[in-house]
């Protein structure tokens, strides 16, 4: 039998401080840590080494030696570039915990934390570890703020998700969850009963208005958990406050739940949008909502006529099942199902065999530009061009056609978008950040490169971007095998690319005997 998986411990650092219960109290009170700073509303964390203190607090008595660590953050490539050394936070955390299990960093935009959580669930269900530590962390850098300003995505006032807000308020945040397989019932905060990951294959910075990719992720997650839509008691929404995201999210939720939709609320007006950390921060808040049977509010909003957005005030409610949504640049979507009780689905399907059915290598940028559609050349940067060229060539070599929704993409990069990072810092050094290009700036997020590949090849299954330094390629291959073996996808394209290195390579994996057609 597949083990039950649950959150048994959690820690939070937000603009409200580094005590999880204090953050929870403030959220439930409708308070906000978002403040006006230099004309922009943001939420900031005070104090150095916040993550180290959170990690130490969740394991005072130690953890099993086979414990794994999964981190969601978009800051790994930039941190490595600034220091001139590989991103060390993952190893630092694992070493401090004595954790020798699987290790990975996801850079899947605002789905990064959710991606890390879903990865941890798969590791535990496969009994590759007894415990996983899942971390979401994000700080607001000069380049992050300049990039969001270039998109005109920042709300000049406190944001009002689902209430006609004009943009987002950003926030710094860190969250740490301990997930255990078959935990003691008395230790459980909330069970993690299912998840779904999808790609829009639509646009790298905007979801389709109907939220079709998010809707698919929700349906996959509910099926994974053995839950009917009518059984969902609460939705912790992505709720950024941007018109495009809010419109798409509510459209997806209407399609999923119909006229009897559960309440939906967003904590982003209170702690800010914590980007790569958001999936873990918001999973923690959703778990606490289940623990205390309280609906968190959406601050700053008036009641919405056709949806209960829990305006401004928390309230008691029966919450047996809750879902939490995440959307990201690159078109990634993630939904996680949490519950008071464990999932009701027995995983009786044997692991499937996996085979390589196509591969390709692209030597350099010139070779890449000759292989990708000209329309992309000025948008994707060197990393994107390499990834698209290698992915396209491998897909052609495989010669397979199948349902786009059953095809996944795992993108791996050791160093990330170096050219984009250097361009942004050069503008900063010249005091010209006002000139940041809204067209190329998104390339600083690894999931955007992955999204371009999905868009070009119409890949709509699980999308992940791995930024684990030199180990990224091997982790990506292992993860892709696991996605297919456990039935998350029938085919996965694995793309590994780095600038100023040996170009890019890609290979296509598929389940043996799934009856794919051959071109």
Beta bridge partners of 496: 412, 505
Q: How far is CA 290 from CA 191, 285, 295, in A?
A: 10, 9, 9
How far is residue 502 CA from its own chain's centroid?
28
Check residue 376 and report its DSSP letter: G
Report the 10 Å Cβ neighbour count for 517: 8
Q: How far is CA 397 from CA 50, 122, 334, 392, 455, in A?
A: 47, 30, 30, 9, 19
Contact at 8 Å (CB) between 502 and 475? no
Contact at 8 Å (CB) between 71 and 104? yes
**What are the tokens at 109?**
């935009």
3-state SS, 388-452, equals HHHHHHHHHHHCEECCHHHEEEEEECCCCCHHHHHHHHHHHHCCCHHHCCCCCHHHHCHHHHHHH
Q: How far is CA 426 from CA 430, 438, 446, in A?
A: 6, 16, 20
Active site residue 238: yes
Q: Is 296 helix (H, G, I), strand (E, B) or coil?
A: coil
Tell me the C-alpha distance between 110 and 98, whole Å.
29
Report the 10 Å Cβ neighbour count for 370: 10
User: Choosing from 238, 357, 454, 481, which is the catalytic residue?
Assistant: 238
Beta bridge partners of 455: none
Tell me the C-alpha distance between 509 and 81, whole Å.
32
User: Choosing from 100, 118, 260, 273, which is the catalytic residue?
Assistant: 273
**What are the tokens at 237?**
């929404």
Nearest Cα neighbor of 270 from 250, 300, 291, 243 is 300
User: Choosing from 110, 118, 357, 496, which is the catalytic residue?
Assistant: 110
Residue tagged 């350099």 (tokens): 364
Active site residue 110: yes
Residue tagged 């950390």 (tokens): 277
Active site residue 273: yes
Catalytic residues: 110, 238, 273
């Amino acid at each position: 039998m597949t083990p039950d998986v649950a959150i048994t411990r959690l820690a939070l650092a937000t603009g409200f401080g580094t005590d999880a219960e204090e953050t929870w109290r403030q959220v439930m009170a409708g308070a906000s840590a978002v403040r006006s700073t230099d004309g922009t509303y943001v939420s900031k964390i005070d104090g150095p080494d916040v993550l180290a203190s959170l990690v130490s607090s969740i394991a005072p008595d130690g953890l099993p030696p086979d414990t794994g660590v999964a981190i969601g953050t978009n800051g790994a490539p930039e941190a490595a570039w600034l220091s001139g050394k590989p991103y060390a936070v993952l190893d630092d955390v694992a070493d401090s915990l004595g954790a020798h299990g699987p290790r990975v960093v996801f850079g899947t935009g605002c789905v990064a934390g959710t991606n890390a959580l879903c990865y941890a669930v798969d590791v535990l269900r496969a009994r590759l570890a007894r415990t996983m530590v899942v971390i979401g962390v994000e700080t607001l850098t000069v380049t992050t703020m300049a990039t969001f300003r270039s998109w005109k995505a920042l709300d000049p006032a406190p944001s009002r998700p689902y209430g006609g807000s004009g943009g987002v308020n950003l926030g710094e945040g860190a969250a740490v969850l301990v997930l255990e397989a078959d935990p003691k019932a008395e230790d459980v905060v909330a069970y993690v009963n299912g998840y779904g990951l999808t790609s829009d294959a639509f646009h790298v910075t905007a979801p389709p208005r109907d939220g079709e990719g998010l809707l698919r992720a929700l349906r996959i997650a509910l099926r994974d958990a053995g839950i009917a839509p009518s059984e969902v008691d609460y939705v912790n929404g992505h709720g950024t406050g941007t018109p495009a995201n809010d419109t798409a999210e509510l459209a997806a939720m209407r399609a999923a739940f119909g006229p009897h939709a559960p309440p939906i609320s967003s904590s982003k007006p209170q702690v800010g949008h914590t980007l790569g950390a958001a999936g873990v921060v918001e999973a923690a808040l959703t778990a606490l909502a289940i623990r205390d049977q309280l609906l968190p509010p959406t601050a700053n909003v008036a009641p919405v006529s056709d949806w209960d957005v829990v305006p401004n005030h928390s309230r008691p409610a029966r919450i047996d099942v809750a879902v939490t949504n995440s959307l990201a640049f690159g078109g990634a979507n993630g939904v996680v199902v949490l519950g008071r009780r464990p999932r009701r689905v027995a995983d009786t399907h044997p692991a499937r065999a996996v085979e390589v059915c196509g591969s390709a290598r692209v030597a350099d940028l010139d070779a890449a530009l000759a292989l990708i559609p000209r329309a992309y050349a000025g948008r994707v940067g060197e990393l994107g061009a390499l990834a698209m060229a290698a992915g396209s060539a491998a897909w052609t070599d495989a010669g397979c056609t199948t349902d786009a929704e059953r095809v996944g993409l795992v993108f791996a990069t050791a160093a990330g978008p170096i050219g984009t990072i250097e361009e942004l810092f050069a503008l900063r050094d010249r005091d010209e950040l006002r000139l940041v290009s809204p067209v190329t700036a998104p390339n600083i997020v690894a999931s955007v490169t992955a999204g371009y590949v999905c868009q070009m090849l119409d890949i709509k299954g699980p999308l992940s971007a791995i930024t684990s330094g030199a180990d990224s390629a091997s982790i990506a291959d292992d993860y892709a095998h696991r996605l297919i073996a456990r039935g998350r996808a029938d085919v996965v394209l694995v793309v590994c690319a780095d600038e100023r290195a040996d170009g890019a390579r890609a290979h296509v994996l598929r389940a043996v005997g799934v009856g794919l057609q051959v071109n």
